[in-house]
Amino acid sequence: MREKPIKTRILEMGRRIAEIRAKKGMTQERLAEMMDRSLDFVQVAELKGQITLQSLFLFADALKVRVEEFYKSPQIGHPKRGRPPKK
């Protein structure tokens, strides 16, 4: 089995963070507040996958998931823009 290119896997990790956040009904702004980071920080991580190992653990703690969850393939192609629907 051939592995995906590294760039693809990095982008998928960002999409997976966005997917988990959206499933929890959380906005990027709220996630940024919980992590004590800027909104831009969360947006760049989700869109470009630019994440340090330390940041990965910050995301996991804020989203209350194990870091391993970010390594799974995302179920969505690209995160939808805007706020998640109200529950």
Give me the tens of pLDDT residue by residue for the chain, a chain 87 residues long.
Answer: 678 888 888 899 999 999 999 999 999 999 999 999 999 999 999 999 889 999 999 999 999 999 999 988 888 655 555 665 666
- At residue 81, the pLDDT reads 59
Q: Whose structure tokens read 């969850």?
A: 69
Range of 50's domain? 6-66
Within-domain flag for 84 = no
Within-domain flag for 28 = yes
CATH at 57: 1.10.260.40
Within-domain flag for 80 = no
Total number of domains constituting the chain: 1
Q: Is the pTM of this model over 0.85?
A: no
Within-domain flag for 74 = no
Determine the longest span between alpha carbons in the chain, in angstroms. Answer: 41
Task: Give the angle 38-41-43 at the CA atoms, nearest 5°.
Answer: 110
Within-domain flag for 71 = no
How many CB atoms are closer than 10 A to CB 87?
A: 4
- At residue 1, the pLDDT reads 61
Within-domain flag for 45 = yes
- At residue 75, the pLDDT reads 84
